[in-house]
Amino acid sequence: MAVSNMVFSDVESFLDTHPELFEDYLNRKGKHSMVEKWLKNHQASKTPTTSPAEPEKANTCKDSWASCKGDGLQRRASQKELRKTFARSKALNANRTYDEHVNSRAQEPLTSMRRRALLRKASSLPPTTAHILSALLESRVNIPQYPSTAVDFKYYLKEHNEREFFLELVKDISNDLDLTSLSYKILVFVCIMVDADRCSLFLVEGAANKKTLVSKFFDVHAGITILPSLRNSDEVQVPWGKGIIGYVAEHGETVNIPDAYQDRRFSDEIDKMTGYKTKSLLCMPIHNSDGEIIGVAQAINKSPGGALFTEDDEKVLQMYLPFCGIAISNAQLFAASRKEYDRSRSLLEVVNDLFEEQTDLEKIVRKIMHRAQTLLKCERCSVQLLEDIESPVVKFTKSFELLSPKCSADIESSFKDSMEKSSYSDWLINNSIAELVASTGLPVNISDAYQDPRFDAEADQFSGFHIRSVLCVPIWNSNHQIIGVAQVLNRLDGKPFDDADQRLFEAFVIFCGLGINNTIMYDQVKKSWAKQSVALDVLSYHATCSKTEVDKFKAANIPLVCELGIGKLSFDDFSLDVDAMITAALRMFMELGMVQKFKIDYETLCRWLLTVRKNYRMVLYHNWRHAFNVCQCMFSMLTTAGFQETLTEVEILALIVGCVCHDLDHRGTNNAFQAKTGSALSLLYGTSATLEHHHFNHAVMILQSEGHNIFSNLSSREYSDLMQLLKQSILATDLTLYFENRNTFFELVNKGEYNWNVKAHRDMCRSMLMTACDLGAVTKPWEISRKVAELVTSEFFEQGDRERSELKLTPSAIFDRNRKDELPGLQLEWIDGICAPLYETLVKLNPKLQPMLDMIQANRVKWEELNKERQLSQSSSPPSSHCSGDAPESKDCTVTSGSNNTPCCGGGADGDPPKPAS
């Protein structure tokens, strides 16, 4: 059709019925400016109604080196969409699955199954940890995308403006950091520059003594406008120094051959491989900025057919290839940095795995093997664990192996069948390479297995799996002990494992060793916990009272208070036997109205008292009798002195229960001894009120035992308040706490400022009452008080004997059996420095307690008489006592507890200062 006769409407109608022709024309002849105009005209109408499929269509333009972006970086119109995309990228990065196709799958739409898998994986990590790891794993560096002009436009510039043409080609490659697309661009541009029919680019790979020339794009011609896929393409490798390409790379010379087949250096192997006949050939080296040869560019068969490459072609390439060398070096550096990032990311994902799974050895080893396969891109991976890490004989007890999905006919089975069940696993357990690594602790990297004498070729043939290369490294635990070996076989690309692979695998195995070691330790802890649980169950059974005992006291008649004599302040601590003390304790609970008020089950109360009695050890003083006597003292003070009307019922219950439990499981030694010996109690509770905390926790343990909770019918509020008061009551028996509070309490009472309505004042008063009851033996008649003092002293002597024999220490006077004659003088200091001030203050608060103070003064007279008799008997010899007169806190008779110095003869039940008469 003539141009003058063409009608635009006819052309438009024709193109409407043949859209494929228009698309073909646009692909071949379309200009970048046309696309920009089209996008600009249609952007306003398409932005609000963007369909979900359009972002995917937009992404397809990235498959071509000629980017479809008009103005570089594009911004989304919606901030909400931006946040959603950011969150989705974090989820994908933090919770990647373990298959090797994760990069391609990340660009696919998430199916509901994959979403559920990602959610399950995300939920297994704490949100904070997952967020931190995802932030670490997310790449902050992306390959920059710049618009590239169409090939036709480059031909146009070549014909009309060579300077702009050359600058355009340089600018195009300088903006590309993707080595694949950059290599393709270089080939296309070389074809355009020298009018070559085809071009090839070979890049140098390998170490200095093992260099090869590798081409991923071979025989590319300028007519191709879409970047070919590398997924199914094979590399072309040329040995160093072989053929014209190898010659140019080795000598760095330009080769321009009019007839390739007439040159002896030419090898026709590639022509035979490709089916394309080479005629004229121009081959030139590519240098980096340091002058090193990093590649070779080859132009074949100048167009039109039969033409030869000229000197002008050589000069043009000599000017252009240095820019290509710089661009290739930059792209290689960027690729290396991305590779290191991917490897670091994989190591962080290993840490993620270790955080997620530390309870099952099989699961964590399977994850490790999947990670190793993905990381090193190998055909097989195995992990073998030693039977005994202490034994000099190497013997593997467990072997795990995994086949890559690319080498397996059934991908699904490769994820499941990874445990000890194949002949290949048997070969692993017996192979000498793993044994060598386990015994020496040195990695083994074999590039050609059949050429290495350490490799067992017969076993390889028997297994049916051909092994080419082996990388085996030891697995260490946190104590730098070898616990196994990890082994990978055959890189998927057919190359041997290089030094970078070995370094990466060794770093990877460090984390794997920690994970495996933690899992093994967790298993050991579970077994230890199970043993402890069984032991506690046995001890709990034997530490609780029998049903026969409970039934006996449940059916017994309980004597009255007057019959038992427990209402007197001067009660005889030794008047009741062990069973009578149980009945007396039951009477106290009933007399105070605790059973009725708090609906305490009577059988539970009997069982609880009997179990408490059974949990006091058979020591000389701090035993069940002492606990009962403290409880009786509190009962008589509550009823006789009228504190029952002042304190609340919950406070009274806490005080009574606290007295009964205040020395549970006492070992006959004080807090200072626990700290000196570094006992388990001091490690568990620390060095402050060590035993008091243990007494309280033991009381709680009994209450929590089945059938022992006497507080079960209390309301939640009453129960919470009661447990706080109980803890406060038991901890108050530590004399260190008494010394911290007594000056404030004494001052309040002496100045008449004590107020029962102030909570802090009530707390101090209850603590002082607990201390007064704990030291109550000093207020009993002389014979009772002296007998108690002798029991306390005997217990202290046993501790002193242990200090001398076990700790090689000289005990202080009150603990020294060789200085027992000093007891009267120490007792006087004890009364004057600790006991008398407390009871004098309590009498001021409640005058009904005056009999207790009177008895203290009477007992002091007796101790003073004994002390004078001792002094008279020793008047002819130097005094053996280190105490200085009656000073309550003399330097020679003090021991330190924290920041408090207290008389060595006047300590609490468990505190550093002993208490002979408490």
Is there a contact between 380 and 497 (Cβ–Cβ < 8 Å)? no
* Residue 898 to residue 908: CA distance in whole angstroms: 14
Report strand pairing: 293-302 vs 196-205: antiparallel
Q: How far is CA 586 from CA 314, 603, 635, in A?
A: 113, 11, 12
Structure tokens at 195: 């009018």
Is there a contact between 102 and 96 (Cβ–Cβ < 8 Å)? yes
Angle at which helix 624-640 crosses helix 578-591, to 10 degrees, equals: 30
* Residue 701 to residue 709: CA distance in whole angstroms: 10
Q: How far is CA 313 from CA 193, 214, 221, 482, 572, in A?
A: 8, 24, 17, 62, 122
* Residue 640 to residue 638: CA distance in whole angstroms: 6
Q: How far is CA 182 from CA 130, 187, 289, in A?
A: 37, 9, 17
Query: CA nearest 691: which of 646, 736, 652?
Result: 736
In the chain, the amino acid numbered 286 is: I
* Residue 293 to residue 321: CA distance in whole angstroms: 11
Is there a contact between 291 and 322 (Cβ–Cβ < 8 Å)? no
Q: Which of 370, 622, 662, 698 is catalytic?
A: 622
Q: Which residues lie closer than 8 Å to 438 by C-beta, 6 or more apart?
A: 384, 386, 394, 396, 474, 482, 484, 485
Task: Specify which residues 515 forms β-bridges with.
Answer: none
* Residue 860 to residue 866: CA distance in whole angstroms: 10
* Residue 819 to residue 803: CA distance in whole angstroms: 15
Helix (H) or strand (E) holding 256: strand 255-257
CB-neighbour burial class of residue 104 (10 A; exposed 0-12, middle 13-18, buried 19+): exposed
* Residue 582 to residue 561: CA distance in whole angstroms: 13
Peptide bond into 126 cis (omega under 30): no
* Residue 766 to residue 732: CA distance in whole angstroms: 8
* Residue 735 to residue 733: CA distance in whole angstroms: 6
* Residue 828 to residue 862: CA distance in whole angstroms: 10
Neighbours of 349 (CB within 10 A): 23
In the chain, the amino acid numbered 857 is: Q
Q: How many CA atoms lie within 13 A of 255 on its CB side?
A: 26
Structure tokens at 700: 């709680």
* Residue 655 to residue 765: CA distance in whole angstroms: 11
Query: CA nearest 296: which of 385, 205, 223?
Result: 205
* Residue 190 to residue 202: CA distance in whole angstroms: 14
Query: CA nearest 708: which of 639, 806, 605?
Result: 605
Structure tokens at 159: 């014909």
SS3 255: strand
**Residue 622 annotated as catalytic:** yes
Neighbours of 283 (CB within 10 A): 27
Structure tokens at 266: 């030419």
Based on its alpha-carbon atoms, the radius of gyration of the chain, rounded to whole angstroms, reads 46
Report strand pairing: 281-287 vs 444-446: unpaired
Helix (H) or strand (E) holding 901: strand 900-903
Is there a contact between 767 and 725 (Cβ–Cβ < 8 Å)? no
* Residue 595 to residue 599: CA distance in whole angstroms: 5
Residues with active-site annotation: 622
